[in-house]
Amino acid sequence: MSENKNIQNRRAFLKLSLLGSAIGATQVLGSEETRVLRQATHQELKENFPNSKRIKTICTHCSVGCGIIAEVVDGIWVRQEVAQDHPVSQGGHCCKGADMIDRVRSTTRLRYPIEKVNGVWQKTSWDSSMDKIAKKITEVREKYGPDSIMLIGSAKVSNEQSYYVRKFAAFLGTNNIDHQARI
């Protein structure tokens, strides 16, 4: 396959990830549950989202915070590019950041808390989840002492978040805190 053909196919793929959800697909690829794709039209390939807004943002997958240019049409994130002038990533990012748009728009993305009730996952509220977790932590702490609890940070956690996770451990009364990479 020629280089031109390759580029066109990649662009077609980028287009179809957008247009299925933004405009409503007519020619759909995939099953009923995953119907978010369709072939881009010739015109769509020629015109690169002429009315899109280009918004500079960051990849949220890890705390490096690489720069991303998000193209948005009518409130829908339609395509991403690397931000060439970003001071940290300087026009590069890793494979996780490269598909940030697909993660954000994924139909399987968890958008609310869920709880397993009698073996079945059910939607629940943030207030209810937070109450239950807080109650459970308090119970464990009272029964087994503060050192029965450990807090694990993550590569997603920023400096500021790390600060308050550390504070939270101190309030609980434990020094059991570390980074996920340690385990």
- Strand 177-179 to 114-117 pairing: unpaired
Q: How far is the CB of 96 from ligand SF4 (least distance, A)?
A: 4
| Cα gap 162→177, rounded to integer Å | 10
Sign, CA torsion 138/166/163/93:
negative
- CB nearer to ligand SF4: give 65 or 153: 65
- CB nearer to ligand SF4: give 62 or 152: 62
Q: How far is the CB of 81 from ligand SF4 (least distance, A)?
A: 13
- CB nearer to ligand SF4: give 44 or 99: 99
DSSP structural state of residue 181: G
- CB nearer to ligand SF4: give 20 or 65: 65
Q: How far is the CB of 159 from ligand SF4 (least distance, A)?
A: 14
Answer for the pair 98, 69: CB distance below 8 angstroms, yes or no: no
Nearest to 158 by CA among 88, 90, 100: 88
Residue nearest ligand SF4 (C-beta atom): 97
Residues at the interface with ligand SF4 (CB under 6 A): 59, 61-62, 64-66, 89, 93-94, 96-97
